[in-house]
């Protein structure tokens, strides 16, 4: 027997073309993604990483932290537009969107809660993508239950000493600075830890089910000595707010990425259904296939509107944005998982192979139901809203 077409080993990921325009809105984001990201996303997925050149292209497009104010090197982009931009990136490549998500969380937290020295030191570098941030909350023994984290930050000599292990850190293999949540005497605090601080050790986690190119890592902190102002925001009762706010933005970005997955499933499935024939009839003419496609159209629009509403409330500074973001993320992530499964179904065996992107969407979509608050945690939180809305 002759064996041909053996799966090639993961090759070095291809290099995207040079960037000619900055991303300022959905339209320019879509153009950027269609040129620089989507054509290569399957290759990144197989290689288990994105190349440095792509990270530079993202910087050239001004995409790393456009929401930062102009004086910090950003473009002052509003949240509705940022949601649209992250949707477009998620449509092309969930791994890159994940890297943007955690960078967004780190950059926003420094801007909102950092001392003026911290802001001056980090914000322009975050905006330019010269320094990449990552978000370290989960540990080997604690994910959903954030109160179960065991990483500690002890006050010592006017600063802090950090000890513990963080796991599943998106971008951890590549990030320059970690936003680490650790237990203090009073509460859970947020600490900014440069990667090159003595006592920080990064171990890559490869071969994940989805978002395979997002370069996850397990990171240990052993007697890591930090300055006093490594703590971002207040200590005491409101320290939890830093985490709440950071997770809120992460959730918003993941909701946006999930809308992008639904849209990607729709576009791929509609194209496939139009060209693939069974018994001489295009799939697109079969009522059962039409039902799947119509649900994709409907859910893409519904999820997009929920996201836009959450973004509008953020722009207005309304407290209700937090619940609106939970709802958007819950709806969009479950819709992404549902429609990615149907997209594979529509593609049949082709959906299970590497010639079409839908298998990647399917794997990536599952991750969306787990990160930034799993489905179960989302439903438990949204149930609190139901309680507020009861009559009598």
Partner 1 sequence: MTDTKGQILGFVRDRYPQAEITESQDIFALGFVNSLFAMELVMFVEKTFGVTIPNDELRIDNFRTATSMSDLVTRLLAEPAVA
Task: Compare residues 81 and 173 and give the one whose CB is closer to ligand FAD.
Answer: 173
Catalytic residue among 155, 277, 372, 389: 372
Check binding of 351 to partner 1 (CB under 8 A). no
- Centre a 10 Å sphere on the Cβ of residue 340 and count the other Cβ atoms it contains: 30
**Judged by CB under 8 A, which of 1, 317, 349, 386 binds partner 1?**
317
Residues 243-262 that bind partner 1 (CB under 8 A): 243-245, 248
**Judged by CB under 6 A, which of 137, 179, 182, 262 binds ligand FAD?**
137
Check binding of 381 to partner 1 (CB under 8 A). yes
Among the residue ranges 221-229, 240-248, 347-355, 369-377, the one whose residues contact ligand FAD (CB under 6 A): 369-377
Check binding of 234 to partner 1 (CB under 8 A). yes
Task: Compare residues 1 and 390 and give the one whose CB is closer to partner 1.
Answer: 390
**Judged by CB under 8 A, which of 318, 348, 354, 376 binds partner 1?**
318
Task: Compare residues 137 and 230 and give the one whose CB is closer to ligand FAD.
Answer: 137
- Give CA–CA dist 40/392, Å, rounded: 56
Taking CB under 6 A as the rule, which mask of x and - marks residues 191-230 in contact with ligand FAD? -----------------x--x----x--------------
Q: 193 with 180: CB under 8 angstroms?
A: yes
Check binding of 259 to ligand FAD (CB under 6 A). no
Task: Compare residues 302 and 377 and give the one whose CB is closer to ligand FAD.
Answer: 377
Residue 75: which residues within 8 A CB-CB, separation 6 or more? Answer: 22, 24, 62, 66, 67, 68
Give backbone dihedrals phi and psi of 338, rounded to 5 degrees, phi first: -65, -50
Task: Compare residues 107 and 216 and give the one whose CB is closer to ligand FAD.
Answer: 216
Check binding of 254 to ligand FAD (CB under 6 A). no
Residue 122 site contact among ligand FAD, partner 1, none (CB < 5 to 8 Å, cut-off depends on kind): none
Among the residue ranges 231-239, 256-264, 333-341, 348-356, the one whose residues contact partner 1 (CB under 8 A): 231-239
Check binding of 373 to partner 1 (CB under 8 A). no
342 is a catalytic site residue: no
Q: How many residues bind ligand FAD (CB under 6 A)?
A: 20
Q: Which parts of this chain interact with ligand FAD (CB under 6 A)? A: 102, 135-138, 143-145, 168-170, 208, 211, 216, 367, 370-371, 374, 376-377
Catalytic residues: 372
Q: Which parts of this chain interact with partner 1 (CB under 8 A)? A: 113, 233-234, 236-238, 240-241, 243-245, 248, 316-322, 381, 388
């Amino acid at each position: 027997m002759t064996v041909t077409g053996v799966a090639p080993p993961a090759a070095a990921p291809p290099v995207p073309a040079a960037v000619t325009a900055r991303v300022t809105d959905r339209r320019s984001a879509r153009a950027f993604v269609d040129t620089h990201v989507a054509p290569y996303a399957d290759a990144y997925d197989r290689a288990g990483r994105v190349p440095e050149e792509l990270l530079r292209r993202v910087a050239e497009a001004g995409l790393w932290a456009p929401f930062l104010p102009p004086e910090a090197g950003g473009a002052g982009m509003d949240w509705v537009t940022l949601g649209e931009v992250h949707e477009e990136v998620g449509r092309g490549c969930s791994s890159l969107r994940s890297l943007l998500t955690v960078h967004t969380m780190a950059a926003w937290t420094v801007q909102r809660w950092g001392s003026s020295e911290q802001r001056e030191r980090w914000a322009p570098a975050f905006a330019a993508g010269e320094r990449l941030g990552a978000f370290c909350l989960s540990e080997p023994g604690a994910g959903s239950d954030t109160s179960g984290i065991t990483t500690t930050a002890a006050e010592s000599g006017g600063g802090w000493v950090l000890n513990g292990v963080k796991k599943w850190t998106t971008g951890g293999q590549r990030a320059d600075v970690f936003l680490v949540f650790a237990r203090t005497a009073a509460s859970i605090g947020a600490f900014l830890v440069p990667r090159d601080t003595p006592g920080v050790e990064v171990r890559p986690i490869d071969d994940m089910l989805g978002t395979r190119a997002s370069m996850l890592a397990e990171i240990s902190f052993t007697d890591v000595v930090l300055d006093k102002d490594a703590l971002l925001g207040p200590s005491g009762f409101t320290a939890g707010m830093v985490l709440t706010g950071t997770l809120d933005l992460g959730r918003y970005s993941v909701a946006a990425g999930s809308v992008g997955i639904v849209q990607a499933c729709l576009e791929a499935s509609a194209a496939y259904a139009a060209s693939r024939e069974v018994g001489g009839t295009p799939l697109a003419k079969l009522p059962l296939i039409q039902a799947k496609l119509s649900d994709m159209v409907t859910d893409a629009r519904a999820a997009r509107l929920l996201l836009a509403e959450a973004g509008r409330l953020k722009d207005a500074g309304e407290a209700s944005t937090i619940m609106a973001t939970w709802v958007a993320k819950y709806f969009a992530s479950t819709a992404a998982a549902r429609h990615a499964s149907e997209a594979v179904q529509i593609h049949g065996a082709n959906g299970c192979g590497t010639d079409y992107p839908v298998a990647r969407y399917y794997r990536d979509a599952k991750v969306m139901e787990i990160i930034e608050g799993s489905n179960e945690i989302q439903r438990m939180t949204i149930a609190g809203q139901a309680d507020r809305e009861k009559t009598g």
